[in-house]
Amino acid sequence: MFDLERWQEIFETISKNKLRTFLTGLSVASGIFILVILLGIGQGMSNGISREFQNDATNILFVFTGVTSKEYKGLNPGRMIRMKNDDYDYAVNKYQDELEYKSSIYRIWGGIVNYKKEAGTYRVEGVWPDYQFLENASMVSGRFLNYSDQEGYEKVVVVGNKVKTDLFKDGEDPIGKFIEVSGINFKVVGVYTDPGGEREEARVFLPLSTANRVFGGKNELNFLSFTLKPEENFEAALASSQKFSEELESHLKEKHTVAPDDDSAITIQNSLENAKRFYDLMDMIKYFFWGVGICTIVAGIVGVSNIMLIIVKERTREIGVRKALGAEPLSIIVMVLHESIFVTTIAGFTGLIFSLGLLELAGPMIETQYITNPSVDFQVAITTVFILIIAGAIAGFFPAWRAAKIKPIVALRDE
Q: Tens place of pLDDT for every residue, the chain, 415 residues?
A: 455 666 666 666 666 667 767 777 777 778 778 888 888 887 787 777 666 555 544 678 899 999 999 999 888 899 999 999 999 999 999 999 999 999 999 998 777 899 988 999 999 999 999 999 988 899 999 999 999 999 999 999 999 999 999 999 888 999 999 999 988 999 999 999 998 788 899 999 999 999 998 887 678 899 999 988 877 777 777 788 889 999 999 999 999 999 998 888 999 888 777 666 666 777 787 788 778 777 777 777 777 777 766 666 666 666 666 666 666 767 766 777 777 777 777 877 888 888 888 888 887 777 766 677 787 777 777 777 777 777 777 777 777 677 666 666 655 555 5
Torsion of CA 333, 335, 338, 340, to 10 degrees: -70
What confidence score (pLDDT) does residue 257 get? 93
Residue count (the chain): 415
What confidence score (pLDDT) does residue 384 get? 73
Residue 79 identity: R
H or E segment and range at residue 225 = strand 223-228
What confidence score (pLDDT) does residue 1 get? 44
- Cα distance between residue 364 and residue 137, in whole Å: 25
**Residue closest to 252 by CA, chosen among 243, 265, 239, 238:** 265
**Residue closest to 358 by CA, chosen among 376, 382, 379, 332:** 376
Q: How far is CA 313 from the centre of its chain?
A: 51
- Cα distance between residue 307 and residue 398, in whole Å: 11
Dihedral sign from CA coordinates of 50, 53, 54, 60 = negative
- DSSP class of residue 113 equals E
Domain boundaries, the chain: 4-52+277-413, 60-271
What long-range pairs does 351-355 form, CB within 8 A, spacing at least 24? 351/28, 351/29, 351/30, 351/31, 351/32, 351/33, 351/36, 352/32, 352/33, 352/36, 352/381, 352/384, 352/385, 352/388, 354/29, 354/33, 355/32, 355/33, 355/35, 355/36, 355/37, 355/40
**296-312 burial code (b ≥16 CB/10 A, e <16):** bbeebbebbbebbbebb
Q: Give backbone dihedrals phi and psi of 81, rounded to 5 degrees, phi first.
A: -90, 130
**Residue closest to 113 by CA, chosen among 56, 167, 192, 43:** 167
Q: Give backbone dihedrals phi and psi of 333, rounded to 5 degrees, phi first.
A: -60, -45
- Cα distance between residue 298 and residue 237, in whole Å: 41
- Cα distance between residue 358 and residue 352, in whole Å: 10
Per DSSP, helices labelled H in 263-377 are 271-314, 316-324, 329-362
**Residue closest to 376 by CA, chosen among 46, 30, 13, 27:** 46
- Cα distance between residue 12 and residue 391, in whole Å: 23
Q: Do 266 and 253 meet the contact criterion of CB atoms below 8 Å apart? A: yes
- Quote the strand ranges of 59-168, DSSP E: 60-65, 83-84, 99-115, 118-127, 138-142, 156-160
Q: Do 387 and 297 meet the contact criterion of CB atoms below 8 Å apart? A: yes
What confidence score (pLDDT) does residue 40 get? 83
Q: Which residues pair with 192 in a beta bridge?
A: 139, 160
- Cα distance between residue 246 and residue 260, in whole Å: 11
- Cα distance between residue 186 and residue 115, in whole Å: 10
- Cα distance between residue 11 and residue 18, in whole Å: 10
Q: Which residues pair with 225 in a beta bridge?
A: 62, 103
Per DSSP, helices labelled H in 183-270 are 198-201, 208-214, 234-255
